[in-house]
Structure 1
């Protein structure tokens, strides 16, 4: 599993995920708000399984040499 979620993308995923989960758990939001677990997890681990299928990668490439 190669990292494909980088920088700002990771921060946004974590913030949105935390917001949705907090809304569902603490504020009695709708059941669908639990979907926030997905962006929270993908932001935390740095890998989104959908990105390779779409040919996307927001993680900066490391220079070799």
Structure 2
């Protein structure tokens, strides 16, 4: 799996950080998402998929391999 985020779309809801804190974090100044791991291991895939599904701005993109 390869993960990418569109920071311009992010509305700083923080759901991704709650669901997959090993993969996503938020900038302190404005809460916009940034990636900690663009190629997470299989043990994190479920949380990353759920993060993408619940993102209110559809700012998380996944490429399954």
TM-score, normalised via structure 1 length: 0.25
Which structure dedicates a bigger proportion of its chain to helix?
1
Which structure dedicates a bigger proportion of its chain to strand?
2
Q: Who wins on radius of gyration, i.e. which is larger?
A: 1
TM-score, normalised via structure 2 length: 0.25
